[in-house]
Amino acid sequence: MSEPRELPFYLTNTLTRRKEEFVPAEPPHVGLYVCGPTVYSDVHLGNVRTFTTFDLLYRWLTHIGYKVRYVRNITDVGHLVDDVDEGEDKIAKRARLEKLEPMEVVQKYTNGFHDVMRLFNILPPNIEPTATGHLIEQMAMVQRIIDSGFGYVVNGSVYFDVPGFAKDHAYGELSGRRIDELLANTRDTEGMEEKRSPLDFALWKRAEPIHLMKWPSPWGEGFPGWHLECSVMSTKYLGRTFDIHGGGMDLKFPHHECEIAQSIAADGHAPVRYWMHGNMLTVNGRKMAKSEGNGFTPEELITGNHKLLDTGYGPMTVRFFMLQCHYASTLDFSNEALQASERGLERLMAAMDKLEDLKAGARDDVDIAALEQRCYDAMNDDLNSPVMIAEVFEGVRIINSVNDGKLVLSTAGIDQLRRLMRAMVHDVLGLKAERDTSDSDKVMDGLVQEFIRMRAEAKARRDFAVGDAIRDRLAGLGILLKDTKEGTTWERA
């Protein structure tokens, strides 16, 4: 059998809507850019899903041997509070409400975002650029677009000429939109009088005196347009044509469509080779979104302190829950599903523990290489984590059976299973035990082991009353004892 990492990796390119073999422009290097959060409020669980999806991609690419440069931005300026171009900057508005400096708001929610990423075991990117840190580059790109004839200046603002661009270039290719249909469905928004066409979008916006975040530019005081930062920062760090650009489905239009247009206008060619979009997390069938008011923060999730939550859920339970669904499908949140994932994860983690001290036999009853191959096949098929997890549970069954003496694996077989399970569960899925093994846990384990010995002695003299009393009282403290052939183990309730 060939080495798994030499097998082709197929990815659905949302630009072509087809599964394509992924081949980086300059192997073994891969450039990956993902649209990060806007740091003016807490991230909610839907955001976490997207970042988990791309964490899985990053982990998989790394696992199969690619050297990935992963760039994920922080949007700390530029998005408006509503669909009115004259509206306040979201961050500026939030700052006034909270009487904070804009950059203080940015820092607060950036810190919070990082805490959440750590909580869900989402690996940090290699570069995490901020929009405010790349104003010079953004102005330079605006100028290149003006020079190319697709940007025009009105009253200190610069707009992108979409109909002009669309005459000779594909606009709407990514999102499957046609320019005439877009024009027919345009909403009548304010601030339109400056634009030549309602489809045009801002590259640079003039700042009103009320604005707190603004910078001098060749066109006057202002701030960069909504879509510019990603174009600038992705190409700055990954090159003017890079491998993978990811983000949530809801960014496809107009955000990513505009990015494509900007890059073509400024640099003469499309910026991205493979586009990848993660689907939405829904609640009762509806997209979780700030505007829907159906979102909850990771903190509410863990404490269970929210009307939609029956109880609190651990971050690893949630991560596992998300990975049991393919990234391109919508995933509906429900308490029932979360509880099912919680139980499943417990069983998986219990098996991972047992795996550490399986006893080897003289033969191999199971073909671990075949299991491994199925895991790699699943992941190489458009990151099919649900199928890979199904195979991992086949591994769980094998572990338990070997542990029960119902199946036999050789030393080599056990080693192979160990490597496979650790790679899939820890490295690729990024799952770990909900509770860390800390020093205090070691003390706890020592104490419980003492009680287990006392109970074993009681049982040896068939004093089941004392034995059961020990077990029941420990159970009352949340310590569950389990008798096995090899002896008694314990876990927390």
Binding mask 70-99 for RNA (x = CB under 7 A): ---------xx-xx------x---------
Q: How many C-beta neighbours within 10 Å does residue 17 have? A: 10
- State phi, psi for 255 to the nearest 5 degrees: -55, -55
What part of residues 115-174 is at the interface with RNA (CB under 7 A)? Answer: none
Taking the least distance from each CB to RNA, the nearer of 147 and 335 is: 335
CB 199 within 8 A of CB 162: yes
Angle among Cα 317, 489, 410 to the nearest 5 degrees reads 85
Q: What is the DSSP string of 229-276?
A: HHHHHHHHHH-SSEEEEEEEGGGIIIIIHHHHHHHHHHHSS-SEEEEE
Dist. CA 234–CA 253, nearest whole Å: 18
Q: What is the DSSP string of 168-227?
A: HS--STTTT--HHHHHHT----TTGGGSSSTT-EEEEEEPPTT-SS-B--TTSSEEE-TT
Q: How many residues bind RNA (CB under 7 A)?
A: 87
**Min separation Cβ 2 and RNA, Å:** 21
Angle among Cα 411, 416, 418 to the nearest 5 degrees reads 95
**Min separation Cβ 246 and RNA, Å:** 8
- Among positions 127, 387, 423, 433, the unique one binding RNA when judged by CB under 7 A: 387
Taking the least distance from each CB to RNA, the nearer of 29 and 328 is: 328
- Among positions 96, 286, 419, 453, the unique one binding RNA when judged by CB under 7 A: 286
Binding mask 306-335 for RNA (x = CB under 7 A): ---------------x--xxx--xxxx-x-
What part of residues 456-475 is at the interface with RNA (CB under 7 A)? Answer: 459, 464, 467-468, 471
CB 91 within 8 A of CB 32: no
Taking the least distance from each CB to RNA, the nearer of 52 and 217 is: 52
- Among positions 27, 65, 124, 176, the unique one binding RNA when judged by CB under 7 A: 176
**Contact stretch for RNA (CB under 7 A) within 60-68, 106-114, 118-126, 253-261:** 253-261
* Best CA proximity match to 123, nearest among 44, 31, 60: 60
Report CA 86 to chain centroid distance, whole Å.
Answer: 33
Taking the least distance from each CB to RNA, the nearer of 3 and 357 is: 357
What part of residues 395-424 is at the interface with RNA (CB under 7 A)? Answer: 396-397, 400-401, 403-404, 406
Binding mask 45-74 for RNA (x = CB under 7 A): -xx-xx------------------------
User: If DSSP codes are grouped into helix, strand and coil, which group holds residue 395?
Assistant: helix
Taking the least distance from each CB to RNA, the nearer of 29 and 456 is: 456
Taking the least distance from each CB to RNA, the nearer of 44 and 273 is: 44
**Min separation Cβ 398 and RNA, Å:** 8
Work out the burial of residue 89: count CB atoms within 10 Å of its CB; fewer than 13 is exposed, 13-18 middle, 19 or more buried. buried
